[in-house]
Amino acid sequence: MTVPPVTGWEPWAPPLNPPHDGTDGQPAGLDAATAQKIADATWVTDPHLCAALQWEAYAAMLPPTPAVASVSTGAQSVSYSPAGPTGEFGLAMARAEYHRSLMGSLVTMPLTVAEPAKTSAPGNPWNPDAYDPWWPVA
């Protein structure tokens, strides 16, 4: 089995497949090609975003932990929900949340309001000076 050389993003990534294919006693890792695609798209912009997306993709592959547990003592039963996800899934999501907390602020293009589609009324409803809401019905 050939292990690819370590580049900038691998130390921050979750277990990768290869080398973790599920036969070594650990859960199968995130597909290396998928991790590379995430890194290609985000590593230069924000390394923490890259790591968060990779850990979330890895967590999506893991079996979820039960949301409710029940304890019965015979005289009474108690059901409870853990405060957060537990197990391997919980650890992966915690790692993703950690990287999201360290993300830089991404700058996006400002939103603009597009012109509305043609309406059945004549005129431009966005321009109150040129819009007449009353028109004759034929």
Write out pLDDT tens, residues 64-103: 766 666 777 777 777 666 656 667 888 898 899 888 888 8
What does the radius of gyration of the chain's CA atoms come to, in whole angstroms? 26
Q: CB of 99 within 8 A of CB of 48?
A: yes
On the question of pLDDT at 8 being above 80, the answer is: yes
Mean per-residue pLDDT over the chain, rounded: 74
Q: CB of 39 within 8 A of CB of 50?
A: yes
> CA–CA distance from 115 to each of 50, 110, 112, 129 (Å)?
36, 16, 10, 16
Q: What is the DSSP letter of 87?
A: H
Q: Dump pLDDT digits (tens) for 111-137.
A: 555 555 555 555 555 665 655 556 555
Q: CB of 50 within 8 A of CB of 42?
A: yes
Q: Give the residue extent of every domain in the chain.
A: 31-63+82-104
- Prediction pTM value: 0.59
